[in-house]
Amino acid sequence: MCGICGELRFDGTRPDPALLGRMMARLARRGPDHEGSYSDGALAFGHRRLAIIDLSPRSNQPMVDAELGLTIVFNGTIYNYPQLRAELQAKGYHFFSGGDTEVILKAYAEWGEACVERLLGMFAFAIWDTRKRTLFLARDRLGIKPLYFSRTPGALRFASNSQALLEAADVDTSIDPVALHHQLTLHAVVPAPRTVLSGIRKLPPASTLLIDEHGHEQPRTYWKLRAERPAEVYSEAEWLERIHGALLNAVRRRMDVADVPVGVLLSGGLDSSLLVALLAEAGKENVLTFSVGFEDQPEEKGSEFEYSDLVVERYATHHHKFLIPNGDVLLRLPEAVSCMAEPMVGQDAVAFFLLSERVAREVKVVQSGQGADEVFAGYFWYPQMAAAEGEDDVARFASRYFDRDHTEFLDAVEPRWHGPDYSAETVRRLLGEPGADTYLDRVLRMDTTTLIVDDPVKRVDNMTMAWGLEARVPFLDHELVELAMSMPPELKLRDGGKYALKQFARGRIPDAVIDRPKGYFPVPALKYVRGEFLAFMHDVLDSQAARNRGIFRREYLDALFAAPEAWMTRLQGSKLWHAALLELWLQLNVDAVRP
């Protein structure tokens, strides 16, 4: 788990070592254990390492295999690397390290671009072939690990975050109008390849890009998720048994493949509590667990300690509990936003940032429950969408998910950002892809392969890696996801959603945790914007920088300021926070390097 970056020149010049150094500096938080660089003519690599597997210097990066003529920078974890290593050894390959990085190098030498299809895990990596003079970029199937890039006439640069790319003076930092529509409509989800900045793109999940030193590109998608019933008919009991087995296997993989202790982020909800139970079932003792809470608001509690404490008591975990006052949230808010590769409106981004700071003092690796709601239909809007038969496909989704209708978007932004309903067009395209049996199958597939990637999964990666903490997400094990997507949707929706998880959680975790109302990772002060938080957001949006940028109409902002709690999204987020977060991100991450 690391931070990676690099540059490939197309114009006959060499990469600037000073720029590479600045890019690596912007990745330092992701990899505090080692810094390394490599250059070969038109190509330069940079790497910041967080040592998790094979802690020795032999697994430092960039990793060069002179015999094969290959060099790699890699971010992530390959859970089946021991099996792949044995297979490659049987083919005659010799290894000089004990980690998963070298396995990817040998796999690429043996299977070429198809090597990604054999990797089970989360990954973003770049391989330079010194003989063919080609650069190969790859990202995991569900986009757990990030990979951003910028393309200019003279070069392609890539990095684990956009901040590293912004160190180059020639990156176009203008606002992408399509991405802006997505940002303000799709709960800050900007589907790949776009970002809110015109000059920064991201490699889509489940895809690779081969590019030579002349700039010729060969993109490829290597995996597609299908949501169709299998030919064989299973009983409910058989489905539950299969899901339980696949999830137990996913949890075990993420426990065993590490040379450092592995903890659990325990929110007090079903998903993370179930991870603790399954770790115990897999034979793990003295599990390290971590919970965070915030100050209550009259409308909402700021912690779920009453539920996480029940799980701690049941499994006698080695527990750490942190209560963070609102003053700390406001004080640390700009720092958290400066660590976001893209503007992320979810309240729990700040929660994860502050929790990760404390957790990283104890462990380097944690398991987290992201993905369970999307894969197993746990959110309240799924049954609403399923029941709304007869509606247009997009309207059926948009009326229960979009933060703003297109009309409100046009009212919110200055006329120069007006255009078609880009978000509706994107959702219609994604829902219309083949390979799904029912409407809910199509929604869950879109959520799992697109929306989750640039919402909770991205938040967890950014906020944990800001403190050199690796987060593993068993519910997004691609084999588990494939199985769950083939499951009849009615088995997911029953009992308020996540029926399969609730059924085999019985007897493993307390009923009070299973039967509680659906909770979220709350930071109430960013939902009910009052007092110092309101003043802070006013200062951001009323600043000269915001006025010069000219994204939002002043009349719209005045309405938000006059009654912030009257302006909530369908997913119960603050529209004022959404606007302030976007502007604050641009000020901290773009304006700061473009004075």
Q: Distance (Å, rounded) from C-alpha 587 to C-alpha 595?
A: 10
Please give the pLDDT value at position 323: 86
Q: Given a cut of 70, is residue 20 above it in pLDDT?
A: yes
The mean pLDDT of 438-454, rounded to a whole number, is 97
* % pLDDT > 70, the chain: 98
Please give the pLDDT value at position 519: 64
Q: Given a cut of 70, is residue 595 above it in pLDDT?
A: no
Is pLDDT larger for residue 301 or for residue 279? 279
Best CA proximity match to 513, nearest among 275, 323, 299, 239: 275
Q: How confident is the model at residue 572 (pLDDT cuts 50, 70, 90)?
A: confident
Q: How confident is the model at residue 177 (pLDDT cuts 50, 70, 90)?
A: very high
Q: Given a cut of 80, is residue 524 above it in pLDDT?
A: no
The mean pLDDT of 435-460, rounded to a whole number, is 96
Is pLDDT larger for residue 82 or for residue 595? 82
With a CB cutoff of 8 Å and minimum separation 6, the contacts of 504 are: 240, 243, 244
The mean pLDDT of 310-316, rounded to a whole number, is 95
Q: Given a cut of 70, is residue 284 above it in pLDDT?
A: yes
Q: How confident is the model at residue 285 (pLDDT cuts 50, 70, 90)?
A: confident
In three-state form (DSSP H/G/I as H, E/B as E, the rest C), the secondary structure along 569-593 is CCCCCEHHHHHHHHHHHHHHHCHHH
pLDDT digits 0-9 by tens, 146-166: 999 999 999 999 999 999 999
The mean pLDDT of 386-390, rounded to a whole number, is 91
Q: Distance (Å, rounded) from C-alpha 271 to C-alpha 264?
A: 11
Lowest mean pLDDT among 16-30, 254-268, 304-318, 345-359: 345-359
Please give the pLDDT value at position 292: 86
Report CA torsion sign: 566, 567, 569, 574: negative
The mean pLDDT of 505-533, rounded to a whole number, is 83
pLDDT digits 0-9 by tens, 97-140: 999 999 999 999 999 999 999 999 999 999 999 999 999 999 99
**Mean pLDDT over all residues of the chain?**
94
Q: Distance (Å, rounded) from C-alpha 286 to C-alpha 318?
A: 6
Please give the pLDDT value at position 421: 98
Please give the pLDDT value at position 298: 60
Please give the pLDDT value at position 347: 77
Please give the pLDDT value at position 324: 83
Lowest mean pLDDT among 15-19, 115-119, 566-570: 566-570
As given in the structure block, the two tokens for residue 483 are 């199985």
The mean pLDDT of 316-320, rounded to a whole number, is 94
* % pLDDT > 90, the chain: 88
Q: Given a cut of 80, is residue 1 above it in pLDDT?
A: no
pLDDT digits 0-9 by tens, 179-223: 999 999 999 999 999 999 999 999 999 999 999 999 999 999 999
Give the CA-trace dihedral at 302, 307, 313, 319, to 10 degrees.
-30
Q: Given a cut of 90, is residue 379 above it in pLDDT?
A: yes
pLDDT digits 0-9 by tens, 83-97: 999 999 999 999 999
Q: Distance (Å, rounded) from C-alpha 323 to C-alpha 76?
A: 30
pLDDT digits 0-9 by tens, 258-277: 999 999 999 889 999 999 99
Q: How confident is the model at residue 300 (pLDDT cuts 50, 70, 90)?
A: low
The DSSP line for 191-218 is -TT--SBTT-EEPPTTEEEEEETT--EE
The mean pLDDT of 524-545, rounded to a whole number, is 90
Q: How confident is the model at residue 520 (pLDDT cuts 50, 70, 90)?
A: low
Best CA proximity match to 5, nearest among 110, 53, 75: 75
Tokens 């509706």: give the residue. 424
The answer to whether 336 and 349 are in contact (CB under 8 A) is: yes
Q: Given a cut of 70, is residue 408 above it in pLDDT?
A: yes
Please give the pLDDT value at position 297: 65
Q: Given a cut of 80, is residue 594 above it in pLDDT?
A: no
With a CB cutoff of 8 Å and minimum separation 6, the contacts of 210 are: 113, 134, 135, 136, 137, 217, 218, 219, 220
Please give the pLDDT value at position 535: 95
Lowest mean pLDDT among 3-17, 397-411, 522-536: 522-536
Helix or strand holding residue 312 (H, E) = helix 305-315
pTM of the model: 0.96
